[in-house]
Amino acid sequence: MSAPQKPNTKDDVVIRIRGLVNAFGDRIIHDHIDLDVMRGEVLGVVGGSGAGKSVLLRSIVGLNHPRSGSIKVFGQETAGIDAEDMRGLQLRWGVLFQDGALFSSQTVAENIQVPLRRWTDMSQGLMDEIAAVKLALVGLPKEAGTLLPSELSGGMRKRAGLARALALDPELLFLDEPTSGLDPIAAAMFDQLVNDLKASLGLTVFMVTHDLDSLRDAADRVAVLVNRKIKTGTIAELVHDPDPWIQEYFSGVRGRAALSSA
């Protein structure tokens, strides 16, 4: 089966969501939400535990099937999409799962090479070189390539997962709570990494996070999932939103400390 062709659309809106409804049984998670993610921006997605941040991410990448609504990525509707077209989309995005989701029986380098092996016709030698490039890109030492995921620290696992997500040089990057479990220094370094990569690779980033510091340091805009709805804007705009959860989030003790050092 030949590699699906990447359609050539240079839309300003990379992800367009309209009227999305997600529910599990009787429990409604998302009640007709709309969202636009613009090319080249880092969108931070926040919300209380259980507000559906990860569900939203998984709906966009096709791991969840929403009740109703439209999700268009790169101008292409993902609901009812056929497998071939989905592959085309998957080549253009990369996903970093919480804790990396690395294939536990393979080394870091082999993990990075999995999409390369499947979707390109690179020789083994070239794949080894590209893997080294990706490791350097995410700030991992070359020796990390020969380690198994179980031999890595949490921070290294996330970077390794990021390296794999970037293996095919995607245009769109999904991050699921990238700084959770990292010490403050590692978390700050990761935010810096996201910024650097956004600038150097021209990435659009959809970042689900709890971390106010990440929002301040890395996010251009923020989308807040609250009461099964979504509110989007810059931090400066959202700080004035009267919703009690949003107020608490941005104006509580941690919020003010994080934002005031901006």
Q: In angstroms, rounded to a whole number, what is the distance separating the alpha carbons of residues 207 and 42?
A: 7
**With respect to other proteins, which residue has the nearer C-beta, 152 or 222?**
152
What's the min distance (Å) between Cβ of 225 and other proteins? 20
Name the site residues for other proteins (rule: CB under 8 A): 1, 58, 61-63, 86-87, 90-91, 93-95, 97-99, 101-104, 114-115, 118-119, 161, 164
Q: Which is nearer to other proteins, 97 or 250 (CB)?
A: 97
Taking the complex as a whole, how short is the minimal distance between the CB of residue 184 and other proteins, in angstroms? 25
In angstroms, what is the minimal distance from the CB of 60 to other proteins?
Answer: 11
Min dist CB 10 to other proteins, Å, is: 22
Q: Which is nearer to other proteins, 61 or 140 (CB)?
A: 61
By beta-carbon proximity to other proteins, the closer residue of 53 and 58 is: 58
Based on CB atoms, which residue is closest to other proteins, 60 or 235? 60
| Distance, CA of 237 to CA of 38 (rounded, Å) | 17
Task: Centre a 10 Å sphere on the Cβ of residue 39 and count the other Cβ atoms it contains.
Answer: 16
Distance of closest approach, residue 94 Cβ to other proteins, in angstroms = 8
Q: How far is the CB of 131 from other proteins (least distance, A)?
A: 15
Which residue number, 155 or 161, has a Cβ lying nearer to other proteins? 161
Between the alpha carbon of residue 25 and those of residues 11, 28, 29, 32, the distances in Å are 36, 8, 10, 16
